[in-house]
Homo-oligomer: A and B are copies of this chain.
Amino acid sequence: MNILLTNDDGIYSEGIRALYKSLKEIGNVTIVAPDTERSAVGHAITLSDPLRVKSVNREGKFFGYATTGTPADCVKLAIRAILKKRPDIVISGINLGPNTGYSVLYSGTVSGATEGAILGIPSFAISLATFENPNYTIAADFAKKLTKTILDNKGLPEGTLLNVNIPAVDKKHIKGIRIVRQSKTAIKERFDKREDPHKRIYYWLTGEAIESDNQEDADIEAIRNNYISITPIHCDMTNYNFIKKLQGWKF
């Protein structure tokens, strides 16, 4: 089995190292990941600049390829230019911090898996729902298990990927798995308006998601209750329910 890994925290992150160690027990793993952190890049791709690739060692051994691009660039580059064989699966993560609700749209981690899905390869993104003292063991084990499950089930529907979030608790507290929808998360954000040493104004985005969607089928609610959440995400963003109504509008 050929496995491609990417992420948005960069090739030197601990999350991708944990994923690598776990997945190489079941297949040939290639890492193509950004050379530094690329969080909240959305589904960006690099058109106006060239991309560079370099080999990276970790712990004295070849670890993978670092690129100057985004997670989506990494997956494109891997499949179109680096790998000799098309991978059987693309995994993006393990992200430090959850990717639920509208974060799915902003997430570089999710976009790595989205690119895999666009290119017709079974793909998932995996995130650990904490920003502090991460223990990636459960997530890394689950990624291995999920890889087998996806391939046993002959992949995923066209243009669909899985978005997985792992609660940051001890294994004994994990209650199970929930297949859930992307939650509706209100975002309470603001800009810090500041003055630089040269008296020029700048703004810095801050704020937090308000976890307001507490229905049982919401991603955020699953994690809050110590379930692993799996959301099938697709690349067709059409709101089909609204098409009929819109056709009735007078233009």
Contact = CB atoms under 8 A, between A and B. Distances in A.
Given A50-B204, A189-B80, A233 B239 contact: yes
Main secondary structure of the interface of A (DSSP, over half): mixed
B246 A52 contact: no
A144 B180 CA distance: 39
A42 B204 contact: no
A32 to B, nearest CB: 12
A142 to B, nearest CB: 9
A138 interface: no
A133 to B, nearest CB: 21
Contacts of A37: 48
A102 B191 contact: no
Interface stretch (A56-64, A85-93, A145-153): A145-153
A77 B191 contact: yes
A232 B243 contact: yes
Contacts of A240: 181
A244 B49 CA distance: 43
A246 to B, nearest CB: 5
Contacts of A156: 242
Interface in A23-40: 37, 39-40
A203 B52 contact: yes
B203 A53 contact: yes
A220 to B, nearest CB: 13
A184 B47 contact: no
A230 interface: yes
Given A104-B237, A231-B238, A51 B202 contact: yes
28 contacts: A37-B48, A40-B46, A42-B44, A42-B45, A43-B43, A44-B44, A45-B205, A50-B202, A51-B191, A52-B200, A53-B201, A76-B191, A77-B203, A81-B203, A105-B118, A105-B235, A118-B187, A156-B242, A162-B246, A179-B243, A179-B246, A181-B238, A181-B243, A182-B237, A230-B246, A231-B238, A233-B237, A234-B238
List the 5 closest A-B pairs by CB distance, nearest first: A42-B43, A42-B42, A50-B202, A234-B239, A232-B239
Interface of A: 37, 39-48, 50-53, 72-73, 76-77, 80-81, 102, 104-106, 111, 114, 118, 145-146, 149, 153, 156-160, 162, 177, 179, 181-182, 184, 187, 189-191, 193-194, 200-205, 230-243, 246-247, 249-251
